[in-house]
Structure formats: C-alpha cells, structure tokens
C-alpha cells in the first residue's frame, strides 16, 4: 500500500452514478493519477489517499485508491490554492490571494465563524462574504450527506438530487420515511425506497410503505398500458409486492382517496382504482374533446359540388365513404378517419387538404414519430412534424411526474391553425393526447387518422379505440380496398389476417413470400441471405433499409440474439473499424442502431459535402434508426447518422440510449414503413404471438414481405385474437360528459 497527499488538479473522468473517478493529484511538483470511487470531490480539494500503485499499459502509473480522506488546507499556500481553484463560486485566484493575505492561517475559521469579516477584503461585498461562507459550509455538509447516503446504496447522481431536494432534512427522511423520496424525486422508485427503508429498520407493515406500494403498483400498471386497475387486481398485485395481507392494504385506500392520491370509481358493481393524475388526465381529455366537437354549417350539397371540381382538377377518384369523410371534415370540429391498408386514407387526407386550401385555411400536419411524419410529408407534399415538435417541447425531460419538461404550445399559447391533422393516431397515448388537446382551441378542426386494428400505443391508454367506441364523435370507417391496392398481396393478405381468415401461403406472389424453415439457425441463415443478397436488388434498396422484425426480445428469435448474429454477417469486425463495448453489447463503426428513449435535448446537425453545418436542431426520438459513422476513442464520442443526414454525437456514457437495430421488435416498428420487411415465424409466448402483432408487422412493408419459418405458427398467430386487456377509462369519461345536462 502507498499513501499520497496533494491537491486535486483535474478530474479527468467521473461516473456520477457510482462515483468512479479518474483524477490527477499534485503536490510539490509531483503528479499522480488516481482511480477509484470517491463519494464527492471537486477540483482544488486536498486529499490523502491510500491505495495500490499499478502500471496501466496505456496511461502509465496509476494508484488504485482503497480509501481516502479530505484534508482541510493546512498552510496559507494550500488555503489560497483551494479558494482560487474555482471550487468556490465568485472567488478567483487574485481574490483568494487577497483573502489569505488578510487572514493568513485563520482564513477558514473566519469563513465558518465570522464570515462578515470577509468584507474587510477589497472586492468582497457583504453579500459575497455570506455566499463564500455558505458555500464552504455547504460543501462540508454535502460531503457528509454523500457519505451517509452511500451507506444506503444510493448512487452519487441520485445522492446529489436528494441533497438538493431536502438539504439537512434528508437524515430524518431516510430514517423515518424514505418512501417520501419516491413521491418527490425522479429516479427514486418504490423498490429503491423500500431497500433504503429495510436498511433503516422500518417495519414491513409501515403505513408509509403500504401507501407508497399501492401507488407504485398503479404506476407500474401504466407500463402495460393501463390507466387504472380493478380493485381486486390492485390488492392482489400490491399484496404480492409488499408481502402483506390484502386487508392491511384495503384499509388505506380510503385514506389515500381523502389525501387525493387515488380516485376510486364504482361501475357495474365493480370498483376501479386510479392514481389521481391518470383519472384527471382522462377527464380533462374527455372534456377538451367534447369542447372541440362543434358542428359546422356549410350545406352538404355545396361541399359535394366543390369536391367534384377538386377531384377533376387533381384527378382523384373517391368512393362514397371518402366523400363523406371530406364532408364531415368540413363540418366537424372533431373527426376520426380509420381504415386498414389500401383503403384510401392518404387520398382522403390529400383531398381534405386541397379543400381546406381552397378555403385559405391554415393547416398543420403531425404524427407521433419522426418516421411517420416523414411518410406523411412524402404522401401529402405538406410539411408534417412530430407531435412533440409541433407542440414545441422544451426543457429537460423527466418522467410523467417531472415538471421540467413542458410544451411551449398549450392553452395559453395555442397552435395558430384552422385545422390540425394527426396521422397514426393509434400510437398516441393519453399523455400526448392531453398535451395536443391543450394546444388546440375550440373552433380549430381536429382530424385524427389511424388504423384502429394496429397495436395500441406503447404508453398508457387506448385513445383511438376509446374515442371510436364512445360513439360520441363523427367516425368514418374506410373499408373499400382500391383497385391498385387490390393487386398487392400485402394489402389483400393483411385484410385476411385482420379478419382471421386462412392466408394462402403457397400462392406465388411478387410481394408476399413465405419461406418454410423449421430450425432457428436455418431461419436465421435464410434471413441473412434475404437481407444480404436477395432483397436489395429486388426492392432496389440498401440492405440496411430492409428491416427484420420479430415479436420478442428474448429467446432463439429474440432481437438480442438476432442482433448479435446479424452484426457478425452484416457488419463484421475489421482493423478499419473502431469498436466500443457497452453493457455487454459491442458497437462498431458501420452498425445499424436505434434510439430507444426520447431525448428531446439531443442536438443534431446536417452538414454539406464540405463538412460545414447547414442545419441544426434538437430531439432524437424512441424508434429513430441510424448508422454509426464514426467512433473517436480519444474524445469518447460516437457519431450516428439518422434520417435526412442528421448527425448526432453520443458520449460513451450515452450509448445506453442506443441498441443494435439489424432486428427490432414489431412494437418498435409502429408508424414506420420499410421497402421490405423480413419476419421470423417461430413459436413463442401465446400472449405475444397475436393477430394484431402479425397484422402490424405485415403492414409495415412498402414493396415486399418475407416470412421465414413455420406455416402452422403463422396461422396460429392469425387465429389468436387475444389482445392484452387494457384498463382504460377514457370511453367512460367521454360518455359521462355527454350525459351531463
């Protein structure tokens, strides 16, 4: 073991989650590199560290720190160096020198006990004197807090949040009611609070614990799409989580309702329980939909006459339901247009746009994802944006409890438009629908377009289906498959799948192919051949534009296994390619990757052929697919190119926001369209292998669908009508509002 003592010259690297730090330490002209876990440390501080000296093959001699102690500066030179290091805001090197020259070895005692005397130094006001004193005291308190919280297994990053939220109160909160942190701090969930409580010796049947566990159970249910739970399911799940009797939980529900943390509703002799925020979210959405649903006054004959002229001019042919959709769009404050592939949704939207243009109306188009918005732009010739960009999202994103993320467009700053058209509405969850409706004033037409038979939104709620089933709004359901679409086996078979009919897999087809294979490895080999050599020339697309889609993440046909195998064939390692391992996954220059969480503040830029930025913006979204163009191991940066040449730089720490995307889950494909899709068909969990899943997958293909695997499994999926039941109360809230006098 060796011991070194000195000043923290520079923090070269720090992982805020676990405190792992690489820093340079200097003393009397000697410089040391220290690596290890430091509770809380900043440049300029003086430490004594004990550890083992090792020789790193790249970075040279280092000390692996076993323990360390922060030392108060002992002489005037050390005090001056610490104060002038930037550790204390408002104090630079020159001011630090004047302070130490005035008070000498008594400097730190003066700061702690007589801070008002600092104003004796030229350049130090009374306000700055108190600020310096507070910062010195706070740093001491924060170090103590970090060490205290580390004993409870709390990461450095989270410990800082806790300290900033509670200050000195954190000690009593951790020891008496750590569950409060689950309510107050993003990143502290029930399980973390429960582990802290266990270490603090809090009893299993604590009231705080049970109430927090009930809310946690309800909020966990939102990850499965639910906005509420039936009381019996809530009690059962919470009892299993908390390991207490249901009776011990039930007695708290009324108290939580009185505290406005829950809303309990009774319908058809059943009790349903909401976390309050979701009940009022649904109620608010229902009320705003009702207020938008205003009837227009233009005579139908006049609309039809003008529509004939538009059809002649644009050479558009509409069936009667499409004509009705245009009529309703003109005279409805709120209209829903739904239908499967090939039924003319895009033609209908285009005709509505032309009619509105003839009225000189301001029209806005949007979709839930970047890919869906891009498709909408290509199909209409009108600029479409993501709903997030339409609503001008700003701030730092958090979870649904965070107030730091907000839309600039809202009830106080509504969208400036006469009509708003939203495509792929089946993907819109209750959160996004509420935000959208807040930004639309009554009198603005809202037209929602989507296929109600697609997979529902990833987020909570079943918005499109609830709106249609409420029977409270104008709905036009397009059913006719048009002649051109009728020649596509993709469209014809998609409708057969949706009706639960037997698809003729042996039929010769130009765009719907089934390749029989039985074993997982032979299925994978066939998919590699299709993506590498067969399909690119057939659909005139790059291999990276052809998408493999699978129902599951785990297992022989799961994305995790498929991506590891496909990477070796489609982007094999070479000396010319940089690599970086993160969380067990190797990322390589040239890899196809997907963003797996919304990052609204991620900056992107588009460069011209000379490498000069010509466009900049922010926001990379869940489901965006790109290619790793460059990896810089020195700067620890990865450059990814997304659609439309948008280049984004990720730090190595941000690689957790990406995953390989040679294969993706069918859920992740929602709203996207690919030149060709390849789908492995192999047995899996029945709850995953469903009709609407395979229907969604098939309808993602523009030119060609290739299914590889077992015909029997494919037919089993078509026959499996099971959809995971979503507990969503928006339909009930809408019906209640329409029954009001």
Structural domain range at position 699 = 488-709
Please check whether residue 380 lies inside any domain of the structure: yes
**Confidence band, pLDDT 50/70/90 cuts, at residue 156:** low
Q: Highest mean pLDDT range out of 370-379, 510-519, 667-676, 722-731?
A: 510-519
Instruction: Please determine, for residue 337, whether its predicted confidence score (pLDDT) is greater than 60.
Output: yes
d(CA 289, CA 285): 6
Classify each residue of 543-554 as buried b or exposed e, where b means 16 or more C-beta atoms within 10 Å of its C-beta.
Answer: ebbbbbbbbbbe
What pLDDT is stored for residue 334 in this prediction? Answer: 97
Number of folded domains that form the chain: 3
Q: Highest mean pLDDT range out of 70-74, 341-345, 483-487, 633-637?
A: 341-345
518 plus 534 within the same structural domain: yes
Q: pLDDT tens, 688-706?
A: 899 999 999 999 999 999 9
DSSP state of 643: G
> How much of the chain, in percent, has pLDDT values that exceed 70?
95
Contacts 24+ apart (CB under 8 A), 501-506: 501/718, 502/715, 502/718, 503/714, 503/715, 503/718, 505/707, 505/711, 505/714
**Confidence band, pLDDT 50/70/90 cuts, at residue 147:** low
388 plus 499 within the same structural domain: no
Instruction: Please determine, for residue 458, whether its predicted confidence score (pLDDT) is greater than 60.
Output: yes
What pLDDT is stored for residue 21 in this prediction? Answer: 86
What pLDDT is stored for residue 398 in this prediction? Answer: 40
CA 657, 660, 662, 667 torsion-angle sign: negative
Q: pLDDT tens, 530-549?
A: 999 999 999 999 999 999 99
Query: 32 or 627, which is more confident?
Result: 627
471 plus 530 within the same structural domain: no
Residues in the chain: 741
11 plus 75 within the same structural domain: yes
Instruction: Please determine, for residue 244, whether its predicted confidence score (pLDDT) is greater than 90.
Output: no
State phi, psi for 732 to the nearest 5 degrees: -65, -40
Q: DSSP assignment of 598-620, as one string? A: -EEEEEEEEE-TTS-EEEEEEEE
Average pLDDT, the chain: 88
368 plus 444 within the same structural domain: yes
> How much of the chain, in percent, has pLDDT values that exceed 90?
50
Specify burial of residue 629 (Cβ count, 10 A radius: 0-12, 13-18, 19+).
Answer: middle
500 plus 619 within the same structural domain: yes
d(CA 358, CA 346): 19
Among 65, 88, 123, which residue terminates a domain?
123
What pLDDT is stored for residue 402 in this prediction? Answer: 40
378 plus 505 within the same structural domain: no
Among 123, 139, 166, which residue terminates a domain?
123
Instruction: Please determine, for residue 60, whether its predicted confidence score (pLDDT) is greater than 90.
Output: no
Which residues does residue 384 pair with via DSSP β-bridges, in sequence order?
Answer: 365
Please check whether residue 261 lies inside any domain of the structure: no
Number of neighbours of residue 526 by Cβ within 10 angstroms: 19
Nearest in space to 76 (alpha carbons), one of 84, 64, 66: 84
Please check whether residue 145 lies inside any domain of the structure: no
N-to-C CA span, the chain: 82
Q: What angle do CA 108, 110, 114 make, to 5 degrees?
A: 145
What pLDDT is stored for residue 403 in this prediction? Answer: 41
Query: 246 or 105, which is more confident?
Result: 246
What pLDDT is stored for residue 17 in this prediction? Answer: 61
**Sheet containing 625-632: which strands, arranged edge to edge?**
613-620, 599-607, 646-651, 637-642, 625-632, 592-595, 658-660
What pLDDT is stored for residue 170 in this prediction? Answer: 84
Residue 344 in marked binding region: yes
Instruction: Please determine, for residue 76, whether its predicted confidence score (pLDDT) is greater than 50.
Output: yes
d(CA 16, CA 233): 38
Instruction: Please determine, for residue 52, whether its predicted confidence score (pLDDT) is greater than 60.
Output: yes
Residue 342 in marked binding region: yes
Please check whether residue 614 lies inside any domain of the structure: yes
Cβ neighbors of 289 (< 8 A, separation 6 or more) are: 334, 437, 467, 472, 473, 734
d(CA 600, CA 436): 17
Residue 425 in marked binding region: no
**Confidence band, pLDDT 50/70/90 cuts, at residue 741:** low
Q: pLDDT tens, 576-610?
A: 899 998 888 999 999 999 998 878 778 899 999 88
Q: pLDDT tens, 603-661?
A: 899 999 888 989 988 888 888 899 999 998 888 899 999 988 999 999 988 898 999 99
Please check whether residue 273 lies inside any domain of the structure: no
Q: pLDDT tens, 547-573?
A: 999 999 999 999 999 999 999 999 999
- 660, 585 contact by CB (below 8 A): yes
**Confidence band, pLDDT 50/70/90 cuts, at residue 74:** low
Q: What angle do CA 527, 451, 302 make, to 5 degrees?
A: 140
d(CA 465, CA 700): 20
Please check whether residue 14 lies inside any domain of the structure: yes
Instruction: Please determine, for residue 512, whether its predicted confidence score (pLDDT) is greater than 80.
Output: yes
- Helices marked H in 84-189 — which ranges? 93-103, 107-113, 126-150, 156-166, 170-176, 179-184
Give helix 93-103 / helix 76-83 axis angle, nearest 10°. Answer: 150
Instruction: Please determine, for residue 117, whether its predicted confidence score (pLDDT) is greater than 80.
Output: yes
Average pLDDT over residues 188-193: 80
Query: 315 or 268, which is more confident?
Result: 315
pTM for the structure as a whole: 0.76
- 43, 11 contact by CB (below 8 A): yes
583 plus 704 within the same structural domain: yes
Residue 590 in marked binding region: no
Q: Which of 11-20, 106-115, 118-127, 648-657 has the lowest mean pLDDT?
A: 11-20
CATH code of 113's domain = 2.40.50.140
Classify each residue of 419-458 as buried b or exposed e, where b means 16 or more C-beta atoms within 10 Å of its C-beta.
Answer: bbbbbbbbbbbbbbbbbbbbbbeeebbbbbbbbbbbbbbe
Average pLDDT over residues 11-16: 77
Coil, strand, or helix at residue 727?
coil
Give helix 207-222 / helix 231-242 axis angle, nearest 10°. Answer: 120
CATH code of 637's domain = 3.40.50.300
Please check whether residue 376 lies inside any domain of the structure: yes
Among 90, 123, 156, which residue terminates a domain?
123
Average pLDDT over residues 655-673: 91
Average pLDDT over residues 28-43: 80
d(CA 47, CA 61): 19
Query: 495 or 404, which is more confident?
Result: 495
Nearest in space to 475 (alpha carbons), one of 297, 329, 368: 329
Please check whether residue 151 lies inside any domain of the structure: no
Q: pLDDT tens, 259-300?
A: 999 999 987 778 999 999 999 999 999 999 999 999 988 999
Beta strands 445-450 and 637-642: pairing type? Answer: unpaired
- 589, 631 contact by CB (below 8 A): yes
Instruction: Please determine, for residue 49, whether its predicted confidence score (pLDDT) is greater than 80.
Output: yes
515 plus 608 within the same structural domain: yes
Cβ neighbors of 86 (< 8 A, separation 6 or more) are: 43, 44, 92
- 18, 40 contact by CB (below 8 A): no
Coil, strand, or helix at residue 674?
strand
565 plus 455 within the same structural domain: no
Q: pLDDT tens, 382-416?
A: 999 989 889 988 764 443 334 456 889 999 999 99
304 plus 335 within the same structural domain: yes
**Confidence band, pLDDT 50/70/90 cuts, at residue 7:** confident
d(CA 727, CA 273): 10
What pLDDT is stored for residue 436 in this prediction? Answer: 97
What pLDDT is stored for residue 424 in this prediction? Answer: 93
496 plus 628 within the same structural domain: yes
Residue 123 in marked binding region: no
């Amino acid at each position: 073991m060796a011991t070194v003592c000195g000043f923290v010259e520079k923090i070269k690297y720090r992982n805020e989650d676990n405190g792992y730090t690489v820093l340079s330490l200097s003393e009397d002209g000697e410089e040391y590199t220290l690596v290890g876990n430091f509770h809380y440390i900043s440049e300029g501080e003086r430490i004594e560290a004990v550890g083992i000296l090792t020789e790193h093959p790249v970075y040279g001699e280092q000390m692996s720190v076993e323990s360390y102690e922060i030392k108060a500066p002992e002489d005037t030179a050390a005090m001056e160096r610490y104060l002038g290091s930037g550790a204390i805001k408002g104090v630079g090197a020159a001011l630090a020198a004047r302070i130490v020259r005035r008070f000498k070895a008594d400097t730190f005692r003066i700061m702690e006990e007589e801070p008002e005397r600092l104003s004796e130094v030229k350049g130090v006001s009374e306000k700055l004197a108190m600020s310096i004193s507070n910062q010195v005291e706070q740093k001491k308190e924060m170090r103590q807090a970090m060490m205290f919280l580390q004993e409870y297994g709390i990461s450095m990053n989270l410990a800082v949040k806790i300290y900033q939220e509670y200050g000195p109160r954190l000690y009593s909160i951790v020891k008496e009611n750590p569950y409060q942190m689950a309510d107050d701090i993003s990143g502290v969930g029930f399980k973390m609070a429960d582990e802290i409580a266990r270490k603090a010796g809090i009893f299993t049947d604590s009231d705080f614990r049970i109430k927090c566990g009930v809310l946690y159970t309800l909020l966990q249910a939102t990850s499965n799409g639910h906005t509420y739970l039936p009381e019996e399911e809530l009690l059962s799940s919470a009892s299993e989580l908390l390991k207490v009797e249901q009776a011990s939980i039930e007695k708290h529900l009324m108290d939580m309702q009185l505290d406005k943390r829950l809303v309990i509703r009774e319908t058809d002799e059943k009790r349903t329980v909401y976390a309050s925020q979701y009940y009022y979210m649904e109620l608010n959405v229902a009320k705003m939909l009702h207020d938008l649903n205003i009837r227009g006054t233009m005579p139908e004959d006049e609309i039809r006459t003008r529509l004939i002229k538009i059809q002649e001019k644009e050479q558009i042919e509409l069936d009667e339901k499409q004509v009705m959709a245009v009529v309703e769009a003109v005279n409805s404050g709120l209209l829903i247009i739904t239908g499967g592939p090939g039924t003319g949704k895009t033609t209908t939207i285009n005709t509505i746009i032309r009619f509105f243009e003839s009225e000189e109306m301001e029209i806005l188009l949007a979709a839930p994802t970047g890919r869906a918005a891009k498709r909408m732009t290509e199909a209409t010739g009108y600029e479409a944006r993501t709903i997030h960009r339409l609503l001008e999202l700003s701030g730092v994103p958090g979870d649904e409890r965070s107030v730091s993320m907000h839309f600039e467009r809202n009830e106080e700053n509504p969208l400036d438009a006469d009509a708003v058209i939203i495509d792929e509405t089946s993907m819109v969850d209750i959160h996004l629908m509420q935000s959208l409706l807040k930004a639309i004033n009554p009198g603005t037409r809202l037209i929602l377009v989507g296929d109600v038979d697609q997979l529902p939104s990833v987020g909570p709620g079943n918005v499109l289906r609830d709106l249609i089933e409420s029977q409270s709004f104008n709905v036009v359901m397009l059913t006719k498959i048009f002649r051109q679409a009728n020649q596509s086996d993709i469209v014809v078979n998609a409708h057969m799948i949706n009706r639960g009919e037997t698809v003729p897999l042996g039929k010769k087809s130009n765009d719907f192919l089934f390749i029989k294979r039985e074993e997982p490895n032979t299925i994978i080999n066939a998919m590699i051949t299709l993506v590498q050599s067969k399909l690119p020339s057939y659909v005139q697309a790059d291999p990276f534009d052809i998408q493999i889609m699978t129902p599951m993440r785990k297992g022989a046909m799961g994305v995790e296994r498929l991506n590891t195998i496909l990477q070796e064939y489609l982007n094999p390692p070479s000396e010319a390619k940089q690599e970086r391992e993160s969380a067990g996954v190797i990322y390589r220059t040239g890899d196809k990757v997907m963003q797996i969480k919304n990052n609204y503040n991620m900056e992107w830029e588009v460069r011209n052929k000379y490498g000069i930025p010509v466009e900049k913006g922010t926001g990379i979204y869940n489901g965006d697919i790109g290619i790793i163009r460059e990896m810089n191991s020195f700067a620890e940066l990865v450059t990814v190119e997304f659609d439309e040449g948008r280049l984004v730089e990720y730090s190595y720490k941000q690689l957790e926001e990406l995953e390989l995307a040679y294969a993706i889950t069918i859920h992740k494909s929602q709203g996207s369209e690919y030149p060709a899709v390849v789908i492995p068909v192999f047995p899996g969990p029945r709850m995953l292998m469903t009709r609407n899943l395979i229907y969604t997958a098939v309808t993602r293909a523009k030119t060609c669908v290739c299914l590889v695997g077992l015909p029997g499994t494919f037919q089993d999926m078509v026959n499996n009508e099971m959809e995971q039941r979503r507990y969503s109360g928006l339909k009930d809230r809408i019906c209640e509002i329409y029954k009001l006098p």
